[in-house]
Structure 1
Amino acid sequence: MKASLSNLPSLQQIQVEKARRSLKEFIRQAWMVLEPSTPYVHGWHLDAISEHLEAVSRGEIRNLLINMPPRHMKSIQVSVMWPAWEWLTNPHMRWLYSSYAATLSTRDSLKCRRLIESPWYQENFGHIYQLTSDQNVKNRYENDKSGYRIATSVGGAATGEGGDRIVVDDPHNVMDSTSQTMREATLQWWDETMSSRLNDPKTGAKVIVMQRVHEKDLSGHVLDQGGYDHLCLPAEYEGKKIFTSIGWSDPREHEGDLLWSERFGRVEIDTLKRAMGSYAAAGQLQQHPSPAEGGVLKRHWWKFYTQLPEEIEEQIQSWDLTFKEAKDNDYVVGQVWGRIGADRYLLDQTRDRMNFPESLQAVRNLSSKWPNTYTKLVEDKANGPALISTLKKEITGLIPVEPMGSKEARVAAVSPQIESGNVYLPHPTIAPWVNDLIEEAAAFPKGAHDDMVDAMSQALLRFSRGGGWLGWLTAESEEDEDGQDDAQSDRF
Structure 2
Amino acid sequence: MELLPLDTVIAAQCYQRFYWFFLEMWETIEAVELVPNWHIEYLCDEMQAVYERWKRGEAQGDVLVNIPPGTSKSTTITQLFPAWLWLMEPSMRIISTSFASDVSIGHGLKSRDCLSHPKFQRLFPGRIEFKADQNGKTNYRNTAGGQRFITSSGARVTGVHADFIVIDDPTNPEKAENEKHRKQSAKHVQTVSSRKTDKKRTVSIMVMQRVHELDPAGAWLKKKKNLRHICLPGELTPDSKTGELGKNVRPAELVARYTNGLLDAGRLDRGALATLKEDLGSYGYAGQILQMPAPDEGGILKKAWFKTITFAEFLKLPEAGAAVWHLDYDGAYTDNQKNDPSAVLITAYVGQTLYVRYAGEYWEEFNELVKLLPKLAETHGCGRQSKLHIEPKANGKDIVSWLRKNSQLNIVEAPPPSGDKTQRVQAASPFIEAQRVVLIDGSWNEAFINQCAAFPTAAHDDMLDTLTQAISRNQSKKKFSYA
Shared fold (TM-score greater than 0.5)? yes
Say which SS state the counterpart of residue 204 (structure 2) adopts: strand
How far the C-alpha of 1:83 sits from its partner, in A, is 0.6
- Describe how 1:237-386 pairs up with structure 2 within 5 A: 237-238=236-237, 239-241=245-247, 249-252=253-256, 257-294=261-298, 296-297=302-303, 326-328=336-338
Match of 2:36 among 32, 42, 59: 42
CA distance in 2, matches of 1:259, 1:438: 29
Cα-Cα RMSD:
4.4
Q: Which amino acid aligns with 2:50?
A: V
CA distance in 2, matches of 1:250, 1:129: 36
1:343 equivalent in structure 2: none
- Describe how 1:155-170 pairs up with structure 2 within 5 A: 155-170=154-169
Change (3 A) 1:255 1:443: farther
How far the C-alpha of 1:115 sits from its partner, in A, is 0.7
Deviations 1:372-423 (A, max 9, x none): xxxxx9989778x99xxxxxxxxxxxxx9649899x99996569999xxxx9
Say which SS state the counterpart of residue 106 (structure 2) adopts: helix
Say which SS state the counterpart of residue 187 (structure 2) adopts: helix
2:199 equivalent in structure 1: 201
Q: Which amino acid aligns with 1:152?
A: T
CA distance in 1, matches of 2:361, 2:379: 5
8 Å contact from structure 1 (residues 67, 231) kept in 2 = yes
Deviations 1:140-185 (A, max 9, x none): 1111221110111111134211211121111122222221111112
TM-score, normalised via structure 1 length: 0.61
1:467 equivalent in structure 2: none
8 Å contact from structure 2 (residues 98, 168) kept in 1 = yes
CA distance in 2, matches of 1:31, 1:325: 52
CA distance in 1, matches of 2:457, 2:361: 23
How far the C-alpha of 1:55 sits from its partner, in A, is 2.3
Match of 2:26 among 28, 31, 37: 31
CA distance in 2, matches of 1:206, 1:380: 33
CA distance in 2, matches of 1:194, 1:108: 17
Match of 1:15 among 3, 10, 27: 10
1:216 equivalent in structure 2: 214
Q: Which amino acid aligns with 2:201?
A: T
Q: Which amino acid aligns with 1:51?
A: D
Percent of pairs with identical residues:
31
Deviations 1:5-44 (A, max 9, x none): 12x5444433222222222211111112222x42110111
CA distance in 2, matches of 1:218, 1:146: 31
CA distance in 2, matches of 1:159, 1:89: 27
CA distance in 2, matches of 1:262, 1:131: 37
1:109 equivalent in structure 2: 108
Q: Does residue 1:448 correspond to 2:459, yes or no? A: yes
8 Å contact from structure 1 (residues 162, 199) kept in 2 = yes
CA distance in 1, matches of 2:360, 2:448: 19
8 Å contact from structure 2 (residues 293, 457) kept in 1 = no
Which 10-residue stretch deviates more, 94-103 or 44-53?
44-53
Q: Does residue 1:82 correspond to 2:81, yes or no? A: yes
2:138 equivalent in structure 1: 139
Say which SS state the counterpart of residue 253 (structure 2) adopts: coil
Say which SS state the counterpart of residue 158 (structure 2) adopts: coil
8 Å contact from structure 1 (residues 212, 284) kept in 2 = yes
- Describe how 1:427-442 pairs up with structure 2 within 5 A: none
Change (3 A) 1:121 1:329: same
8 Å contact from structure 2 (residues 167, 189) kept in 1 = no
What runs of 5+ residues in structure 2 fail to find an aligned partner? 238-244, 305-331, 342-357, 369-377, 383-387, 390-427, 463-483
8 Å contact from structure 1 (residues 237, 255) kept in 2 = no
CA distance in 2, matches of 1:210, 1:101: 14
8 Å contact from structure 1 (residues 70, 284) kept in 2 = yes
8 Å contact from structure 1 (residues 98, 168) kept in 2 = yes
CA distance in 2, matches of 1:203, 1:411: 55
How far the C-alpha of 1:293 sits from its partner, in A, is 2.1
8 Å contact from structure 2 (residues 232, 291) kept in 1 = yes
Change (3 A) 1:255 1:450: farther
CA distance in 2, matches of 1:263, 1:46: 12
Q: Which amino acid aligns with 2:41?
A: D
How far the C-alpha of 1:280 sits from its partner, in A, is 1.0
Change (3 A) 1:414 1:84: same
CA distance in 2, matches of 1:379, 1:258: 39
Change (3 A) 1:62 1:439: farther
Match of 2:47 among 31, 37, 53: 53
Deviations 1:440-490 (A, max 9, x none): 796379622699xxxxxxxxxxxxxxxxxxxxxxxxxxxxxxxxxxxxxxx
CA distance in 2, matches of 1:28, 1:438: 46
Q: Which amino acid aligns with 1:105?
A: S
8 Å contact from structure 1 (residues 102, 152) kept in 2 = yes
CA distance in 2, matches of 1:411, 1:203: 55
CA distance in 1, matches of 2:252, 2:83: 25
How far the C-alpha of 1:214 sits from its partner, in A, is 1.9
CA distance in 1, matches of 2:107, 2:124: 20
Say which SS state the counterpart of residue 258 (structure 1) adopts: coil
Which 10-residue stretch deviates more, 257-266 or 126-135?
126-135
CA distance in 1, matches of 2:263, 2:197: 36
Q: Which amino acid aligns with 2:293?
A: P
Q: Does residue 1:183 correspond to 2:182, yes or no? A: yes
Change (3 A) 1:151 1:66: same
CA distance in 2, matches of 1:411, 1:220: 33
Change (3 A) 1:61 1:443: farther
How far the C-alpha of 1:221 sits from its partner, in A, is 1.7
Say which SS state the counterpart of residue 254 (structure 2) adopts: coil
Q: Which amino acid aligns with 2:156?
A: A
CA distance in 2, matches of 1:65, 1:403: 46
Change (3 A) 1:380 1:184: closer
TM-score, normalised via structure 2 length: 0.62
Deviations 1:65-97 (A, max 9, x none): 111111211111111100111112222211111
Change (3 A) 1:161 1:63: same
- Count the aligned residue pairs: 356
